[in-house]
Amino acid sequence: MELHVLNHPLVEHKLTVLRDKNTPSSTFRELVSELVSLEAYEATRNLAVVDKPIETPVAPMVGKAIAKPRPIIVPVLRAGLGMLDGMTRMMPSAEVGFLGMKRDEEHPTQQITYANRLPDDLSGRQCFLIDPMLATGGTLVAATHYLAEKGAKDVTAICIIAAPEGIKFVEDNIDPSIDFRVVVCGVDEGLNDRSYIVPGLGDAGDRLYGVVD
């Protein structure tokens, strides 16, 4: 597993505003999108490209174009939806799939899959999983293995913040046959007794979309 933590003043500033409990949902959504766009630059560093002959107004040349099959962006519902706009803005040619997973509150590292909208075959596809929080790591491992069962071998996870416990869980449990990397804006102190990231930013889904009972 390869871990990349962004280290940039703009990221630190936006992350501070994002964490503030007084930041309204509208600003929260905008900041998440902006942070994901910054992360996407690093996350797509190894994006597969092919040569593409073109003609400029001055001369012919051989440029680069994103290779096929097109990469696929997979938000983990529901909080991952808040990151989708930032990713598609950077990769408008990518396809989008959806994966609905939620944490089993009695067993925080176990997940319940309740929805999916993905191609049956992901062989040869570069997959980008997006989910704001890497807390226990259970969702990320389950989601990555779900994609691997459909043939994915190249998976990049993009999260806003992570807990050391979650990073360790992913390192220990991710299938080593998967070319797997994680990009985050920051790594926090740890988890509390409810398995929430501290200091964190609260429940990302609720702050994006409001509380759902």
Nearest Cα to Cα of residue 192 among 145, 136, 143 = 136
- Binding-site residues from annotation for uracil: 197, 202-204
**What is the C-alpha to C-alpha distance for residues 102 and 56, in angstroms, rounded to an integer?**
49
Q: Which helix (H) or strand (E) holds 75?
A: strand 72-77
- Binding-site residues from annotation for 5-phospho-alpha-D-ribose 1-diphosphate: 78, 103, 131-139, 203
Structure tokens at 158: 């993009």
- Binding-site residues from annotation: 78, 103, 131-139, 197, 202-204
Coil, strand, or helix at residue 116? strand
The residues, ordered by sequence, that sit 6+ positions from 175 with a Cβ below 8 Å of its Cβ are: 144, 145, 148
